[in-house]
Amino acid sequence: MIIGIIGSGAMGAGIAQVVATAGHTVRLLDQDAEALQRAGTAIQASLHKLAEKGKLTSATAEAIFANLHFTQAVADFADCELVLEAIVEDLAVKQQLFREVELIVSANCTLASNTSSLSIASIAAACQRPGRFIGIHFFNPAPIMQLVEVIPAVQTRAGLAEEVRDLVQGWGKLPVLTKDTPGFIVNRVARPFYGEAIRILEEGIADMATIDWAVTELGGFRMGPFALMDFIGHDVNYRVTESVFASFFYDPRFKPSFTQKRLFEAGYYGRKSGRGFYDYAAGAVLPEPSRDEILGRAVLHRVVAMLINEAVDALALNVASKEDLELAMTKGVNYPKGLLAWADEWGPANVLTTLDDLYNEYREDRYRASPLLRRVVRNNQYFLQHEPATSQQ
Ligand SMILES: NC(=O)c1ccc[n+]([C@@H]2O[C@H](COP(=O)([O-])OP(=O)(O)OC[C@H]3O[C@@H](n4cnc5c(N)ncnc54)[C@H](O)[C@@H]3O)[C@@H](O)[C@H]2O)c1
């Protein structure tokens, strides 16, 4: 199969490596010749590293690299069966790109976007044949992260999502199917990991070192929310939060925080700028957590209850299947457990009580429990342990 990839930045280069490794011929296009050159160097370095670690032979690494063809001309895409874009996150620019691509490719070439925050329907709308359009959303770095969200738009022809899912699986990835709703699965369900942690900090319930400690040491997450936001960068993380909030018609559940906005405005982006929530300057001393276990458990319960509620609500609205929701959160963001499994383990009634207590205390919509959680508790059910949790209402 011949695959065209447009945009050779962080994502495009990574995706090109994945696809070339799977044995496809890849045409990698960028408008910027230097970006193409950088991508070639980065892919070569990455393959070289894998060969050094013994994961590939040098001959295989060379063969993979030989599958890649670098170009600046859309005309070279005439023989592509799939064209996937990973260019700048701008709807008008993406739409214009696909108008040009459609003039070149054959009628049965599939078109795809790696967008994180735009709707697939809005990009597909620019196409002459929107039925062939779909979202294929990788995570960064694409060669390492296993999860790929496959997102059919309202225009996507029946059957294409399943074909793309099988194709992506053949690339050695774990595809999940999700609806074309803001944030898809991962960027929607993960919002409270950041938002609720910041809220707990803002109220002075616990300091950030203690919150990070509670979530990692007591909760088993790989990184605490503050360390993770500093790692991702507040420019990126704040923008995603803002975009998800706006895309949900300003549902207060997704409201960004002033605390993070101020860091963003100040240019305190996190590790990359030397300062975020924490100070990364040479010689700076990181704050110590209180290690108060009772406080830590209260913090953890609040954050996890909010995450579970988001996952349950995504299930209630058929954003994805139970299996795909669990896969997305364990493989996409490395959560220690799937959130539905966590709900079952903790007991859906306990999760609901935690949320209802918060709601009664604050009277804010962000703490409203999903109707599905309430129904599962009312019917004495579980999400995964006793199938089906949703059919007996
Ligand atoms: N960075 C991430 O963590 C991440 C994760 C998942 C999805 N995404 C999405 O992937 C896309 C790319 O993100 P990125 O981080 O790789 O960006 P990037 O800035 O690293 O790379 C974008 C590349 O696209 C090129 N480009 C821009 N407009 C173009 C055009 N009209 N024609 C050809 N080339 C063009 C640029 O020269 C640049 O090399 C975005 O839609 C983003 O939302 C990003």
What does the chain come to in residues?
Answer: 393
Q: How far is CA 113 from CA 120, 240, 359, 368, 384, in A?
A: 7, 17, 38, 33, 32
What pTM was computed for the model?
A: 0.94
Report pLDDT for 392.
39
| Model confidence pLDDT, tens digit, residues 271-284 | 999 999 999 999 99
pLDDT above 60: residue 388: no
Q: In the structure, what pLDDT confidence band is assigned to residue 390 with cuts at 50, 70 and 90? A: very low
pLDDT digits (tens, 9 = 90+) for 15-25: 999 999 999 99
Q: Which residue of 5, 6, 29, 30 sits with most ligand 1 atoms within 8 Å of its CB, as the best mutation to test the pocket?
A: 30
Q: Is residue 306 scored above 90 in pLDDT?
A: yes
Look up residue 299 and give its two tokens.
């913090």
Residue 172 has a CB neighbour count (10 Å cut-off) of 11
Using pLDDT thresholds of 50, 70 and 90, give the confidence band for residue 386: low
Q: Is 115 close to ligand 1, i.e. is its CB under 6 Å away? A: yes
Domains along the chain? 2-180 (3.40.50.720), 185-393 (1.10.1040.50)
* 86 CA to centre of ligand 1 in angstroms: 4
Mean pLDDT of 348-374: 97
DSSP β-bridge partners for residue 83: 4, 111
Mean pLDDT over 222-246 rounds to 94
Any atom of ligand 1 within 6 Å of the Cβ of 30: yes
Using most ligand atoms within 8 A of CB, pick from 88, 104, 238 the residue to mutate for ligand 1: 88
pLDDT recorded at residue 387: 52
pLDDT tens track for 311-360: 999 999 999 999 999 999 999 889 999 999 999 999 999 999 999 999 99
Q: What does the pLDDT look like over 95-113, one tens digit per residue?
A: 999 999 999 999 999 999 9
How far apart are the C-alpha atoms of 127 and 146, rounded to whole Å?
30
**What does pLDDT average to over the chain?**
96
Rg (CA), the chain: 22
Convert the pLDDT of each residue in 144-170 to its tens digit: 999 999 999 999 999 999 999 999 999
pLDDT band for position 393 (cuts 50, 70, 90)? very low
Catalytic residue ranges: 116, 137, 149, 187
Q: What is the DSSP string of 322-376?
A: HHHHHHIIIIIS--SS-HHHHHHHH-HHHHHHHHHHHHHHH--GGGPPPHHHHHH
Is beta strand 25-29 parallel, antiparallel or unpaired with respect to 68-71? parallel
Provide the pLDDT confidence category of residue 385 given band limits of 50, 70 and 90. Answer: confident
β-strand partners of 85: 6, 113
Q: How many CB atoms lie within 10 A of CB 131?
A: 14
What lies within 8 Å, CB to CB, of 173 at 6+ separation is 18, 146, 147, 148
Distance of CA 340 from the midpoint of ligand 1 (Å): 33
| Mean local confidence (pLDDT), 381-391 | 68
The CA 237 to ligand 1 mean position distance, Å, reads 16
C-alpha 80 to ligand 1 mean position (Å): 20
